[in-house]
Amino acid sequence: MDDTHVLAVIGDPIHHSLSPFMHNLAYAELGMKNRYYVPLHVRAERLTAAIEHMRALGIEGFNATIPHKENLVPLMHELDPMARTMGAVNTVVIHADGRLSGYNTDGYGFVQALRQVHAEPLTGRILVLGAGGAARGVVAGLLQEGATAIRIMNRTPERAVTLAARFQPFFPEQTVIPMPWSDTLPACDLLINTTSLGMDSQAGAVPDLRQLPETALVYDIVYSPPMTPLLQTARLRGLQVENGLGMLIHQGARAFQIWTGQPMPVAAVEKGLRAQRGIGSLSTY
């Protein structure tokens, strides 16, 4: 009897994904020699066909990245509460009978990574830059963790309004406030960037951080490069900074456990990813 287990990550593009390296490293660390994780380039118009092919091939599940997370929702037979709240799926289990169970591990991954560097209750001033798919995961994770008030700033104000309205029915006692973009950021205790801010000439200049208190934490979900322009600017002001490598690992760890029933060896995976990408600790910068 063939006991080979194949999982995948789908996206368009997909060549940049570190998920295959991460999951295959975890399998190797745990001696799971019969498990394999592969990247699959799937265009948006081929999503349904791709799922049928995965079912036929016996693939047991997959992760999804851009542009598939929202489009997967109506294709699922069951949704976990976080995926339903976010309206997006990034992890799928393909059951033996063909049923699809959808999960979203982005919010979990962000919160787990955040808690490694920020153990305080989330009752302070929180500002999220961006209102796209990544912001959905961050905001959902913060609200589920008990954040009392979150401000969302986006260059297209309507998107911030839409995102704030998305979560109101699920978290009626908490506040999500859309704000117009400003090149001078208001005072906040936790600043989270979910945009490509400062990464290229089209992304715009890094905003003025002078109103942030000395105790503020600046978190950029980008992990390559490890020290983004935003984090460089924050570091020069003496602020605590963190990049998105931890979020990548912890969202993957949750998917790993959903599929295998075992915890991912997170420390070994982080060590391997840092070595493979040449990413040192931010304390070395």
The CATH number linked to 202 is 3.40.50.720
Is beta strand 91-94 parallel, antiparallel or unpaired with respect to 100-103? antiparallel
The edge-to-edge listing of strands for the beta sheet with 240-242 is 175-180, 149-154, 126-129, 190-193, 217-220, 240-242
Same domain (yes/no): 226, 198:
yes
- What is the tally of structural domains in the chain? 2
75 DSSP 8-state letter: G
Same domain (yes/no): 115, 238:
yes
Same domain (yes/no): 88, 195:
no
Residue whose pair of structure tokens reads 């715009």 in the numeric block: 204
Between CA 109 and CA 252 the distance in angstroms is 7
**The pLDDT of residue 201:** 46
Same domain (yes/no): 232, 113:
yes
Same domain (yes/no): 156, 276:
no
Helix 133-144 and helix 106-117: axis angle, to 10°? 60
Residue whose pair of structure tokens reads 């979990």 in the numeric block: 108
Same domain (yes/no): 132, 232:
yes
Same domain (yes/no): 111, 96:
no
Same domain (yes/no): 130, 29:
no
**The pLDDT of residue 202:** 46
Same domain (yes/no): 115, 231:
yes
CA 258 to chain CA centroid, nearest Å? 16
Provide the annotated active-site residues: 69
User: pLDDT by residue for the chain (285 residues), tens digit each?
Assistant: 468 999 999 999 898 889 999 999 999 999 999 999 999 999 999 999 999 999 999 999 999 998 899 999 999 999 999 999 999 899 999 999 999 999 999 999 999 999 999 888 888 899 999 998 889 999 999 999 999 999 999 999 999 999 999 999 999 999 999 999 999 999 999 999 998 775 554 456 889 999 999 999 999 998 878 889 999 999 999 999 999 999 999 999 999 999 999 999 999 999 999 887 776 666 544
Same domain (yes/no): 175, 187:
yes
Residues 6+ apart with CB under 8 A from 135: 128, 152, 154, 163, 194
Residue whose pair of structure tokens reads 């205790």 in the numeric block: 189
Domain housing 196: 107-243
Q: Which of 117, 120, 147, 123 is nearest to 244 (CA)?
A: 117
Same domain (yes/no): 186, 267:
no
The CATH number of whichever domain residue 56 belongs to comes to 3.40.50.10860
Amino acid making up residue 44: A
Predicted TM-score (pTM) above 0.85? yes
Q: Which of 280, 173, 186, 182 is nearest to 226 (CA)?
A: 280
**The pLDDT of residue 133:** 81
Same domain (yes/no): 114, 234:
yes
